[in-house]
Amino acid sequence: MVSKLRELKVFSGTSHPGFTEKICESLGIGVAAARLFRFSDGETGVSIEESVRGADVYVVQSTCHPVNENLVELLIILDVLRRASAYRINVVTPYFGYARQDRKTKAREPITAKLVANLIEKAGAHRLIAADLHAGQIQGFFDIPVDHLTGIPLLASHFREILKKEEDGDIVVVSPDIGGVVRARRFAVHLNADLAIVDKRRSHEVANLSEVMEIIGHVDGKVAILVDDIIDTAGTMVQAAEALLERGARKVYACATHGVLSGPAVERIASSPIENLVLTDTIPLPKEKQIDKITTLSIAPLFAEAISRIHSDHSVSILFR
């Protein structure tokens, strides 16, 4: 019987080729052939080395550091595929950069997440697949379908295993800020645990600077698990861990889907009271940042399942839970 499915091709940008390889391994296919290079003046060059006419193509590219180079490279790849007559162009951004600039917090600020959404659409994308966008409303910035996956089940399953010795009543899931309460509540449901919230005041004058104000919820005598979507400089997470221990928590673990880990993040985590920080591999973790306190789980199989379902026109909603 001749398959009715169009040919599936998965291309990789240079931001995270290892992640693309894991996706293709799960799908049982090879990474499609492309050549990415730099001209002598630093401009990005892309050459697709095989036909994509009429194919269902997926471009895997996290827009992580160096953010601007990775974003421009993604846009150029999309333009090449559109001009080469690909049937459907799907963007797979495990980590969607510029997502934290999703609204105006003061006068004369850009809404960069919307700008990036416009650029991706204009370049030729027909669909976006991402994990744990910093703000859910970013899905509405696109006029194309957005499949919003989550790392919560993967992270919760990991903690369920390592905390088997703890009684359910001894675990509390903690949101490091008010904005992350929905995420932390979903995580707490997976572990049948209590919920607490760190009420912090963030400085709008200095980026990445915040001050812990109060803990809402009961943490005394409990094992606390801090849950966030992004860990950047780790200042907020470390402050929250210290505050939890001051208020009687027995141990503090932390987890996040995206480990940006910029600036002093790794040094802060290494010297912090956090027992273990668990991340997914949406952003590559270079060897110099791989310390004993950091554990990385692969979320690539979830993306592979989403690609398989989208390609075969099956429901993807079960993967959003």
Of residues 31, 35, 34, 36, the one with CA closest to residue 18: 31
Answer yes or no: are the C-beta atoms of 265 and 237 closer than 8 Å.
no
Task: Point out the catalytic residue in the list 200, 222, 287, 293.
Answer: 200
Rg (CA), the chain: 20
Give the list of residues 6+ apart from residue 109 with CB closer than 8 angstroms, or none: 101
Residue 293 and residue 271: Cα distance in Å, rounded?
10
3-class secondary structure, 48: strand
Active site residue 200: yes
Q: Check if the beta carbon of residue 241 is closer than 8 Å to that of residue 255.
A: no
Cα end-to-end distance, the chain, whole Å: 35
Nearest alpha-carbon partner for 241 in 276, 195, 194: 276
Bridge partners of 35, per DSSP, are 47
Q: Which residues contact 245 (CB under 8 A, 6 or more apart)?
A: 252, 273
Token output for 142? 């696109």
Residues forming the active site: 200
